[in-house]
Structure 1
């Protein structure tokens, strides 16, 4: 037994070393962005992007923040992504409850429809959405973008949760009905609490996916007051109004909120994935 354990130890160390090296390799671009974000333009021009800064200078970050009114863009992104994450989870739960536990007629065709919706490219949706939102006065509004991405994310969430709810223990549902619980009480008091880890994972993914969306917000949000962080970064860089250090500062400011959100909800994500593995 001791010999077998000793043989396994080198393999574990090699795997650990490989994972640490891979993590370090993935952090290299982020480290380069941080280095260049705190450099002076002259320092960047003289020493290149890979050198250490001669002095820490945050003026590029301040200039970019003021130039794009980054605080407003941050609020817009947080409001849109947070609203979509909450609404998409709620809609996904209701749809999946009907499809997975309620077993409505035509369930298979409805799931196929949701699957097709997940495969549609955003380029195919832009013109219909642009024309429709112009007609209903939702163009260039945050509400319009929230509606679009709630539907898009809920299509994926419904497809995922419905397959999970199909395998939901029938004994628990039947016991609740015997105790007098109606369908709404079964959903709120039994299905949702048991599925909370999975719903937490969906919430985190929906938030990050929506935060990083660029193409549809670029088309539907044209005024500076409504733009999100990715759109503001793309528009300003496309206008060639920034030097390399300010561009690095903009990239750093765009990355930090998503990374911070992920770290805050890392335990929720881990708990959800672990619960799914156990099931």
Structure 2
């Protein structure tokens, strides 16, 4: 029996244990989502008879339709998509530009600047909300989507700059020297050399920035008071806080609230996998 065969047989129990653990973890993760989906298509009478764990006797979509109409969910969906999409793109652009100066440009006081970005990531939103509210009022941007986009672009780019500056500090100097010899300016080097090579990491940041911004609740709750400007999490929180919905409509609202983020994550799952794998190889 060869050494490779012996090593493979020894690894089989380990693989089985790891696979079993992953399957159990996936089940634990999916059970709450499945419960919400099942209860969203139950009628109130069905829910009262069989409880939250019973299967629906028939497909009941009235709760989803009622919630969609009551909160004008299409408008809330558009607000969240515009804010999250704009923040994701702008935060990546700001992050790569600032990280290029800090990681490759080696500006003076680089460590202090990175420390400031790290401190910004550790700052709780509760400590930021009043200054942000005051400044938005002063510049007449309060209760606008633009204010939320600016705020979260700054917040997300602080994390992105901190992460990318450490990545770009190890960028191969030979490639930069070759671009400089070919006559490329710093701006051309950034967009034609650094960005294409760093795209796997940037794509991961883009996906996470979108999902993080989509799920934000506290700052949009304070900054967006008009019903026309509210995002999906804010609309869900405000309506459920009024206690005007039965259990099935609440499940429908929760399903509609998390479904867009899940769909976005599934669509860009391959992008995340490639980005993480590329980072691991590097």
Scaled by the length of structure 1, what TM-score is found? 0.99
Q: Which residue of the other structure, out of 90, 112, 117, is the alignment partner of 1:114?
A: 117
Aligned length: 279
Map 1:127-142 → 2, pairs under 5 A: 127-142=130-145
Hey, what does 1:189 align to over in structure 2?
192
Hey, what does 1:105 align to over in structure 2?
108
Q: Which residue of the other structure, out of 37, 60, 73, is the alignment partner of 2:40?
A: 37
Query: Over aligned residues, Cα RMSD in angstroms?
Result: 0.7
Structure 2, unaligned runs of 5 or more: none
Q: Which residue of the other structure, out of 63, 67, 79, is the alignment partner of 1:64?
A: 67
C-alpha distance in structure 1 between counterparts of 2:95 and 2:6, whole Å: 51
Scaled by the length of structure 2, what TM-score is found? 0.98
Displacement of 1:25 after TM fit?
A: 1.5
2:267 is the counterpart of 1:264:
yes
C-alpha distance in structure 2 between counterparts of 1:55 and 1:266, whole Å: 33
Map 1:76-225 → 2, pairs under 5 A: 76-225=79-228
Hey, what does 1:245 align to over in structure 2?
248
Hey, what does 1:235 align to over in structure 2?
238
Structure 1, unaligned runs of 5 or more: none
C-alpha distance in structure 2 between counterparts of 1:197 and 1:67, whole Å: 41
C-alpha distance in structure 1 between counterparts of 2:28 and 2:105, whole Å: 48
Displacement of 1:4 after TM fit?
A: 2.7
C-alpha distance in structure 1 between counterparts of 2:93 and 2:272, whole Å: 18
Q: Bigger shift: 174-183 or 4-13?
A: 4-13
2:257 is the counterpart of 1:278:
no
C-alpha distance in structure 1 between counterparts of 2:135 and 2:9, whole Å: 66
C-alpha distance in structure 2 between counterparts of 1:164 and 1:133, whole Å: 34
Q: Secondary structure at the match of 1:225?
A: helix
Q: Bigger shift: 14-23 or 242-251?
A: 14-23
1:226-252 residue CA offsets vs partner (Å, 9 max, x unmatched): 000000000000011111000000000
1:29-78 residue CA offsets vs partner (Å, 9 max, x unmatched): 01110110000011111211000011110100000000000000000000
C-alpha distance in structure 2 between counterparts of 1:4 and 1:81, whole Å: 48
C-alpha distance in structure 1 between counterparts of 2:33 and 2:70, whole Å: 23
C-alpha distance in structure 2 between counterparts of 1:96 and 1:261, whole Å: 27
C-alpha distance in structure 2 between counterparts of 1:113 and 1:11, whole Å: 44
C-alpha distance in structure 1 between counterparts of 2:27 and 2:82, whole Å: 33
Displacement of 1:270 after TM fit?
A: 0.6
